[in-house]
């Protein structure tokens, strides 16, 4: 088995401040201000080449933070991460520059990845057609709807042919026809044996598409394993969670936050 991603004891800390002055004092004074918030704590996980892994967990459990770290967009606070090859993240508007047009964004992203202008010109038409943006491709991306951004991001990411494809809820904002087209493309990637990470709240999509599941809770790995072993347990958990009253949910949430929040020392 070829290892595709290996993460050891990875944690991500954000600083939470109550005011601007607290943030400023933390920057300039030796004493620590604000609270440490651990979005991820001691995460261990390994994916083999060809694994299709669903990241699941209730809101705020750390799925996007982990996928952003794997894609190299957000730095980890501690721990180690090994990526075999190039990872590309598709998320709503991820990595797109709002002031640039769609076409300029394609060129920028591809140039940054080392493609020549000749190669980019060849890829560009396919990207524009796949993203269904013909009339809008020369407009600034800030004028795009979230579905248009998501289509552009998806089209660029699949065209650059990464070794690891990370899809963070990007399909939930597009229309149904585009989602189906994207799923076909992802199936092609799966058949080619590419490693994929799929962040989704849709248990059906995860069941249909993934072979493994990483269940995050309180920023920690609660379970990692085969879809068939973990999804039934997760479905039960979600059922119970949904049954909770508002108060029970807020007690549960508070517990989560207390678990994650530690008064920081510099
Ligand atoms: N830049 C940031 N600064 C402070 N806290 C952050 C930051 N980014 C994320 N967080 C916090 O980290 C935690 C994990 O967030 P993340 O977006 O990774 O969760 P998620 O599982 O993807 O949630 P969702 O399902 O709602 O998208 C959340 O509590 C979030 O508020």
> Which domain CATH number covers 194?
3.40.50.300
Q: How many CA atoms lie within 13 A of 152 on its CB side?
A: 35
Q: Tell me the residue range of the domain where 64 lies.
A: 3-86+162-263
Residue 219 CA to ligand 1 center (angstroms) comes to 9
Mutate to test the pocket of ligand 1, among 10, 26, 39, 92 (most ligand atoms within 8 A of CB): 39
Number of domain units in the chain: 1
In a domain, 136, yes or no: no
In a domain, 178, yes or no: yes
Which residue's C-alpha comes closest to atom 31 of ligand 1? 60
What is the dihedral angle through the alpha carbons of 197, 163, 144, 148, rounded to the nearest 10 degrees? -70
In a domain, 93, yes or no: no
In a domain, 105, yes or no: no
The per-residue pLDDT for 162 is 85
Tens digit of each residue's pLDDT, the chain (266 residues): 899 999 999 999 998 888 888 888 888 888 888 888 889 999 999 999 999 999 999 888 999 999 999 988 899 999 999 999 888 887 765 678 999 999 999 999 888 878 899 999 989 999 999 898 988 999 999 999 888 888 898 888 888 888 898 888 766 666 778 878 888 888 888 899 899 999 988 898 899 889 999 999 888 899 999 999 999 999 999 999 999 998 998 888 777 667 655 544 44
In a domain, 190, yes or no: yes
In a domain, 106, yes or no: no
In a domain, 101, yes or no: no
Which residue's C-alpha comes closest to atom 17 of ligand 1? 64
Distances (CA, A) of 87 to 12, 46, 127, 173, 229: 19, 15, 19, 22, 27
Q: What ipTM was reported for this prediction?
A: 0.96
In a domain, 150, yes or no: no
Rg (CA), the chain: 20
Residue 130 CA to ligand 1 center (angstroms) comes to 30
Cβ contact 147:179 at 8 Å? no
């Amino acid at each position: 088995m070829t290892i595709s991603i290996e993460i050891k004891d990875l944690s991500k800390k954000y600083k939470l401040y109550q005011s601007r002055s607290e943030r400023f004092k933390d920057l300039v004074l030796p004493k620590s201000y604000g609270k440490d918030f651990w979005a991820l704590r001691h995460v261990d996980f390994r994916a083999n080449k060809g694994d299709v892994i669903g990241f699941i967990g209730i809101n705020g459990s750390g799925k996007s933070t982990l996928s952003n770290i794997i894609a190299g967009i957000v730095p980890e606070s501690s721990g180690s991460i090994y990526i075999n090859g190039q990872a590309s993240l598709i998320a709503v508007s991820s990595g797109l520059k709002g002031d640039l047009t769609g076409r300029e964004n394609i060129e920028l992203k591809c140039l940054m990845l080392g493609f020549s202008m000749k190669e980019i010109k060849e890829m560009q038409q396919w990207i524009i057609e796949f993203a269904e943006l013909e009339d809008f491709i020369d407009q600034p991306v800030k004028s795009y709807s979230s579905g248009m951004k998501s289509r552009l991001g998806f089209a660029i990411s699949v065209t650059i042919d990464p070794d690891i494809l990370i899809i963070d809820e990007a399909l939930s904002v597009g229309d149904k026809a585009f989602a189906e087209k994207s799923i076909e493309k992802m199936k092609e990637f799966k058949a080619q044996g590419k490693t994929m990470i799929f962040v989704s709240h849709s248990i059906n999509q995860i069941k249909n598409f993934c072979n493994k599941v990483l269940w995050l809770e309180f920023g920690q790995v609660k379970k990692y394993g085969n879809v068939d072993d973990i999804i039934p347990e997760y479905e039960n958990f979600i059922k119970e969670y949904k049954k909770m009253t508002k108060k029970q949910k807020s007690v549960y949430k508070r517990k989560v936050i207390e678990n994650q929040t530690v008064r920081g020392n510099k």
